[in-house]
Chain A
Amino acid sequence: MALVGMRERQQETVRTMRKTMTAAIVAAAVIAPAAAQGQSWRTVAMSRQLEDNGEVRVFVDYGAGEFTMRSVDDGLLYRMNLKYDEDKFEPIADFSGERLHLGVESLRRNINISRRQSGSLELELARGVPMDLKLKFGAVQADIDLGGLALTDLELSTGASESLINVSEPNPVPMEKASFEVGAAEFTIRNLANLRAEEIEVRAGVGSIILDFDGRWQRDAQIAVKMGLGSMELRVPEGLGVRLQKDSFLTALDSEGLIKRGDVYESPDFDDADYRIEVELHIAFGSVAVVWIR
């Protein structure tokens, strides 16, 4: 009998605790969405005429949302259309001589937003004006066409994003270095040849990366890829000389079409190719696939 009584008391105690905790959790769940509701959307269109601009250093900061970028030749230095929550963000559009700073910045330090709650930024930059372009994204779905822009330098830094970058037309000016820093992302760059970069650096944390080396090659290039964890696809046009060097811990390499010579993998026509790229891969965990394109 004593055992039965003790068990009943135990169960009663547990029932009381469960009720109390359930009530607390439900209250928190009701209050939290109520506090999170309420957005105040603001739409902004900004633009600036081209003047006698020399090389312009362009900084673009965008925390979260959809981002698109193109070139424009309507006599404008830039045109920007923004949609954002004015309670959380404010637009940036500073131009002083050689420096152009665009985008949005958050009004508070810690802001949690979902894709559904985020806004959008459409940016057009002047064709043919020499630019040192620096793009900095947070959680952004980006669709960028760099074709037509005269880029002397390029830096792209993104956190958790889904980015598609295309260089649809050759860069009118040669570029020394293009660097891409990717956190956790699905990241695709098309027509890398059109960048006319002597050096391309990709640093990625976790994700899926596609580097497409199509386009119009006008110079040899050095490619350095550093990646923590994920899959990488290298799309190489036939006729381009490729030398690939891999330094990895646990990485599977699908090197179809490449011949292993010592520590490196080379395309059969590497020595005779008009243009060559040398790719250094530093990947900890993941897979690398070389895909030939016609």
Chain B
Amino acid sequence: MYMSQLLHRAFLVLVLAALTLPLGVEGQLRTIVSKSVSASSSRATLAIEFADDGMLKIAFDGGTILVDGDPVGSYEDGDELDTAWRALLGDAMSRENGALARILDGWAPPADLDHDLENAAEAVEDALENALADLDVEAERRDASVSISINNEEGSLIRLLVSAVGNLGGLVKALEGLDENFRIHIDEDVVIPSGSMVEGTLVVIGGSLRVEGEIEGDAVIVNGTLDVRSDGSIGGEARVADTRIVRNTGEIRGGIVNVLEDEREFERELRQELHDEIRAEIRSDVRNEIRNATRFEGDGFSIMSPLRPVIRGVGGVFEKLVGVFILALLGAGFLAFAGENMDAISETARRAPGRAAMVGVAGSFLLVPVWLLGAVALAISIIGIPVAIAWLPLFPLATVIASLLGYVAVARNAGEWMADSSFPWTAWIRKSNPVLTLVGGLLAFSGLFIAGHVLSIAPFLNVLSTLLFIAGGVVTFVALQIGFGAVLLTRAGRRREHYSTYDAEVAWEDAVRRNAEDGLGGDAGTTTGDGSDDA
């Protein structure tokens, strides 16, 4: 399919070349069906698509000028060429088809550019002119043989033809850098008889070439066969693309060059890539098999089966400890930034736990109705809709924060209670350090779960571990309700209902007041010179 299209295009182009050469190549412009003009601080790109499927893309990209992806020169941001190009694109943005083609074809780079910039500008100008020149003519004979002699002028017809028909694949590669004196044969077999000589380059497209005589220059064969007999010789290279070498007993001085080697290389890379992917997949499968054999989960046989309860138990303990750590961090944050509020919540939870728990349970039941009714109340007015949108996620978020705040406040109370206790394992909890009391309380609340996980390692103690988990759940639920209720009662700690017994200033004032009420003068706790207590 590809070769057929290639031959068809090449044939059209060559016939046209023969027709247009005497007349020059100026004339009607090609029809542009699609354009894309884009510009940013570092790039300015034009991409156009023609009605006959050809395309052209010119990009000024980060200092390099690219024509259809190939670099043709360089520029600097803001130099004369860059400015002129951007001006052209600015004009092109608002134009279509014919008008667009005319301004692109008529574009001329600024004069007096320095040498490198001038070369780049000429390349851009040539690319535009060559792409826009209308070369589309109908060919009536597909079996024609065309011989063309082309001079050596830069920007010659062959370049124009190649640009005009887009990517001709192997043919373009095969013709690169050759002497432009061609004899071209399309769709026919060519024989160079013994004793005869062909000057210049011989191109055979879609046919076989048998060389018994001499070709002075190069031979190019695309999609055909090459047969060099013992008396035959090629003075230059034999360039082949999609071509089978039938015989090579003669002389090819420049050697055989496969111009599609790049494609072959690409294919090789693709094959290698595929090979690597398959190998990686096999490795992955093997790894999965090994993993299945050593898995911790699942009911099937595994060499790790005996260790499953231990892993689960230790994992559960670790999970709880991580939870305690996270809650301790959260609690530390509350202490740091809302210490007064937390004091008030703790105090309320300590002094009136029953009341707080009842308020917490009632509040929990009312959460969903309050959330929905609040949203409805806000949504029935247009002004309230944005607030409703915020209300929907923020209310649950505030509820979660309030629950956590209450929970850590209750945990802190539990920690202080443990510090006051005479248990030997609570000696490390010091009431002077609120973080330690908090951690102590959190560990106490998690203690039942941790014990449950430890016991779950022994299979025969599963019932006991389950009971411990249930007890832990009950403790956590009660602590959450008391904490949440205390948060509600104190308006998140902003309305203090009780005062801490540990408030030194209040205690001091109380002591002074009591002394005064008992009729004793002087500061409380003052001692006389003989050591007797005034009080």
Once the chains bind, are B385 and A207 in contact (CB under 8 Å)? Answer: yes
Residues of chain A lying within 8 A (CB to CB) of residue B431: 6
Distance, CA A4 to CA B511, complexed state (A): 14
- Within A30-44, which residues are at the interface with B (CB < 8 Å)? 40-44
Once the chains bind, are A7 and B40 in contact (CB under 8 Å)? Answer: no
Distance, CA A122 to CA B69, complexed state (A): 29
A258 close to chain B: CB less than 8 A:
no
Once the chains bind, are A13 and B37 in contact (CB under 8 Å)? Answer: no
A9 close to chain B: CB less than 8 A:
yes
User: Nearest Cβ distance between residue B212 and chain A, in whole angstroms?
Assistant: 50
- Within A225-241, which residues are at the interface with B (CB < 8 Å)? 229-231
B504 close to chain A: CB less than 8 A:
yes
Distance, CA A231 to CA B381, complexed state (A): 7
Residues of chain A lying within 8 A (CB to CB) of residue B37: 44-46
Known: A14-B336, A42-B38. A49 touches B385 (CB 8 A): no
Distance, CA A252 to CA B377, complexed state (A): 11
Residues of chain B lying within 8 A (CB to CB) of residue A10: 432-434
User: Nearest Cβ distance between residue A284 and chain B, in whole angstroms?
Assistant: 9
Once the chains bind, are B379 and A206 in contact (CB under 8 Å)? Answer: yes
Binds A, one of B28-36, B133-141, B154-162, B490-498: B28-36
B5 close to chain A: CB less than 8 A:
no
Once the chains bind, are A229 and B375 in contact (CB under 8 Å)? Answer: yes
Once the chains bind, are B379 and A230 in contact (CB under 8 Å)? Answer: yes
Residues of chain B lying within 8 A (CB to CB) of residue A98: none
Contacting residue for A45 out of B36, B380, B389, B434, CB 8 A:
B36
Residues of chain A lying within 8 A (CB to CB) of residue B34: 46-49, 95
Known: A4-B504, A6-B432. A43 touches B379 (CB 8 A): no
Q: How large is the interface on B (under 10, 10 to 19, 20 to 34, 35 or more residues)?
A: 35 or more
Known: A7-B504, A46-B36, A208-B385. A17 touches B336 (CB 8 A): yes
Q: How large is the interface on A (under 10, 10 to 19, 20 to 34, 35 or more residues)?
A: 35 or more
Distance, CA A250 to CA B333, complexed state (A): 41
A73 close to chain B: CB less than 8 A:
no
B365 close to chain A: CB less than 8 A:
no
Distance, CA A174 to CA B423, complexed state (A): 85
Contact with B along A199-240 (1 / 0, CB 8 A): 000000011100000000000000000000111000000000
Distance, CA A196 to CA B93, complexed state (A): 35
User: Nearest Cβ distance between residue B37 and chain A, in whole angstroms?
Assistant: 5
A21 close to chain B: CB less than 8 A:
yes
User: Nearest Cβ distance between residue A37 and chain B, in whole angstroms?
Assistant: 15
Known: A9-B432, A206-B385. A41 touches B96 (CB 8 A): no
Contact with A along B417-436 (1 / 0, CB 8 A): 00000000000000111110
A175 close to chain B: CB less than 8 A:
no
Contact with A along B335-347 (1 / 0, CB 8 A): 1110100000000
Distance, CA A76 to CA B376, complexed state (A): 48
B43 close to chain A: CB less than 8 A:
yes
Contacting residue for B502 out of A3, A86, A184, A208, CB 8 A:
A3
User: Nearest Cβ distance between residue B337 and chain A, in whole angstroms?
Assistant: 7
User: Nearest Cβ distance between residue A170 and chain B, in whole angstroms?
Assistant: 27
Once the chains bind, are A76 and B96 in contact (CB under 8 Å)? Answer: yes
A75 close to chain B: CB less than 8 A:
yes
A292 close to chain B: CB less than 8 A:
no
Contacting residue for B382 out of A7, A206, A208, CB 8 A:
A208
User: Nearest Cβ distance between residue B327 and chain A, in whole angstroms?
Assistant: 15
Can you list 27 A-B contacts (CB < 8 A)?
Answer: A3-B502, A3-B507, A6-B504, A7-B504, A9-B433, A10-B432, A10-B433, A17-B435, A40-B40, A40-B41, A41-B41, A42-B39, A43-B38, A45-B36, A45-B37, A46-B36, A46-B37, A74-B96, A75-B96, A81-B93, A206-B389, A207-B385, A208-B385, A231-B379, A231-B380, A285-B379, A286-B376
- New contact pairs (10) apart from A3-B502, A6-B504, A45-B94, CB-CB < 8 Å: A6-B502, A41-B40, A42-B38, A49-B34, A206-B379, A208-B385, A230-B379, A250-B376, A285-B375, A287-B380
Closest 7 CB pairs of A and B: A42-B40, A44-B38, A45-B93, A3-B504, A17-B336, A18-B336, A9-B432
Q: Which residues of A contact B (CB under 8 A)?
A: 3-7, 9-10, 13-14, 17-18, 21, 40-49, 51, 74-76, 81, 86, 91, 93, 95, 184, 206-208, 229-231, 250, 252, 285-287
